[in-house]
Amino acid sequence: MRLSKDKLDSLCKIRDKSGSRFYEFSTSWWALFFFFILVSGCVLWNQLIPFENLKFDPYPFNGLRTVLALMGAIQTPLLLLYSRKSTDYRKHLLEQDFELEKKIFKKIEIMEREMRNNHNEYLHELKYFSKMNKKMNRKRNAIKLEQVTDKKDFISLEQTQRDSLQAKKTEKNENMTA
């Protein structure tokens, strides 16, 4: 009988899930408590029960040792197998993280390059605007000086006009009094 690829894949998934669950249980605190209770229960039962016919494994506990040895013999290869699978899975996750970090690093480099270019453009524009601002300040100062000199000229012109009007008034007054 030949198994189809789908059935084989589903059996492999079931095997992996059951094995990983067994691995998770075997490496947990619950398994430790379970085996501790099992061993202590067997020892206490066989030591403390007063009826000899109910004891199933007397003092040297050969049956308990045999069961524990068989469980260890079965658990050891399974635990080693699934610990290797878990390390392979972790390795795969680390590779994915590494690829993601490489992508992020490339994006960061691109952003830094863009920021550097934008910074250089900003500095260039800042220099241009500072030059323009200096030119505008020079022109403003020149215009203010012209206005000040114009005002002085205006004031001096006004003063001369007043003086000439005053002189004419005094001449009229002198002519009238004369």
Average pLDDT rounded to a whole number, residues 158-165: 78
Of 104 and 88, which is predicted with more confidence? 104
Is residue 79 in some structural domain? yes
Of 147 and 129, which is predicted with more confidence? 129
Q: What is the pLDDT of residue 144?
A: 67
Q: Indicate if the pLDDT at residue 146 is higher than 70.
A: no
Is residue 172 in some structural domain? no
Model-wide pTM > 0.75: no
Distance CA 134, CA 124 (A): 15
Of 124 and 144, which is predicted with more confidence? 124
Q: Indicate if the pLDDT at residue 128 is higher than 70.
A: yes
Is residue 44 in some structural domain? yes
Q: Indicate if the pLDDT at residue 104 is higher than 90.
A: yes
Is residue 97 in some structural domain? yes
Is residue 156 in some structural domain? no
Average pLDDT rounded to a whole number, residues 48-70: 81
Question: Structurally, how many domains does the chain consist of?
Answer: 1
Residue range of the domain that includes 73: 5-135
Of 102 and 54, which is predicted with more confidence? 102
Distance CA 53, CA 12 (A): 46
The helix (run of H) or strand (run of E) holding residue 72 is helix 62-177
Distance CA 49, CA 58 (A): 11
Q: Measured between alpha carbons, how far is residue 175 from residues 45, 165, 170, 171 in Å?
A: 154, 15, 8, 6
28 φ/ψ angles, rounded to the nearest 5 degrees? -105, 170
